[in-house]
Amino acid sequence: MAAMTNKYFGTDGIRGRVGDAPVTADFMLRLGRAAGKVLAYEDSRSVVIGKDTRISGYMFESALEAGLAAAGANVALLGPMPTPAIAYLTRTLHACAGIVISASHNPFYDNGIKFFSADGEKLPDDIEQAIEAELDQDFSTVDSKKMGKAVRIEDAAGRYIEFCKGTIPFNILLGGLRIVVDCANGATYRVAPAILEELGAEVIAIGNKPDGLNINSGCGSTHPGFVSQAVVAQGADVGIALDGDGDRVIMVDAEGRTVNGDELLYILAVARQDLGQLQGGVVGTVMSNFGLELALKAREIPFLRTPVGDRHVHRALVSNGWTLGGEASGHLLCLDKTSTGDGIVSALQVLEVMVSTGKSLADLATDVQKLPQVMINVPVNGQVADLEGSATIDAAVRSVQTRLGDTGRVILRPSGTEPLIRVTLEGTDAAQVNQLAKELADVVRTELMA
């Protein structure tokens, strides 16, 4: 709903192509001032700012810093750091709020802003709306005596490394494991290899040479083939693929087979259940594969679906008192370990299960039999059309659902982060699913161009 009712904030903050409104330097200056007015409620507390490795981050960091200072807010600069690290450091530095400059898994020419509350959690809708309301006000600067100051936190990486290591028991070491970690040329390029090495693993780091332009380019969690090839070539035990800002993870077994977020959720849920540590059930989304639901049902583990987006998953977890949820994309929430999605922490939880059980990643994931699922992205220009208002698209969806029967699903939704309509089909017959997905995508494309 936030994407539909807010002017700037979507399902995951504010995001778009650099230079196109609102992802411009002048907007970020105004956003910094607005955020400072709404979020910086104590003179002694700062707003922390971190970023990923894309080149435009320098420009937006400076603009946000200036806007916050104009509002009288102090700033703590973290430099390139994973999104979940910024959430963690917001809490431990006792900051008023955290700001992340990142477009996550998007290409370098996109960028965006995410906010965290003082608790290291995504901002509630009413706070986002308060910031938007402040953006409509004229730009103003506090008296010079009240202007904010900025400091750089030099030991930010070390603090986060120790936190991540502390999310698994002290007696769990990764010695004997040969691990390929793909950092997507993004925010984890320094900390992820360091964490694994300090825990005793033999680490082969790839995608760890960011140049400002190569973030997510043919690597990371959105391109798992890169780490898969490296795992096989290096004879590694497991591969870890993170995304540009480090809040997603996809893993690869020793044979190079991708193990996505659905399978990783199952592994973590079963391990916690076996130890008597699973609190309630598991939260997925409408995009979670039906095979995950069936596998959890076989273990008598409750499963709930939410709309796409980690904020919806988080809200369902909190309201039910559960701790484990996530998305097939690898955005996993382990609320018993941290307050937000964290690719490194999630990977460590899986590695802990591998070490403690002596099982390979392939063995741990074997009980999840995913149904064939196809997603086609249909580009749109400008504002996404009201899909529910199209009789042609409605009729096409009903026709496809009828042909799939009770063992298939059709999901049609606008992306919350890109100008796309995502057409997704799931069923038991891979060939049929592919064909029907293409047919429905053609209808959507034609209708939206009409």
Task: Using the Cα atoms of residue 18, residue 19, residue 20 and residue 22 in order, give the sign of their dihedral.
Answer: positive
Q: Is 104 a catalytic residue?
A: yes
Kindly state the tokens that stand for 42: 């104590």
Chain position carrying tokens 């069923």: 427
Q: What are phi and psi of 161, to 5 degrees?
A: -60, -45
3-state secondary structure 4-25: HHCCCCECCEEEEECCCCCCCH
**Is 438 strand, coil or helix?**
helix
Contact 57, 28 (CB under 8 A): no
Active-site option among 104, 221, 329, 339: 104
Kindly state the tokens that stand for 287: 């995009």
The separation between the first and the last C-alpha atoms of the chain, rounded to the nearest angstrom, is: 26
How far is it, in rounded angstroms, from Cα 65 to Cα 73?
A: 9
How far is it, in rounded angstroms, from Cα 22 to Cα 110?
A: 11
Q: What is the dihedral of CA 403, 405, 407, 411, to 10 degrees?
A: 60
Q: Containing H/E element for 373?
A: strand 373-379
CB atoms within 10 A of CB 9: 23
How far is it, in rounded angstroms, from Cα 317 to Cα 296?
A: 16
Contact 52, 13 (CB under 8 A): no
How far is it, in rounded angstroms, from Cα 413 to Cα 281?
A: 26
In this structure, what DSSP letter does residue 210 have? -
How far is it, in rounded angstroms, from Cα 213 to Cα 390?
A: 39
Q: What are phi and psi of 128, to 5 degrees?
A: -60, -40
Residues carrying an active site annotation: 104
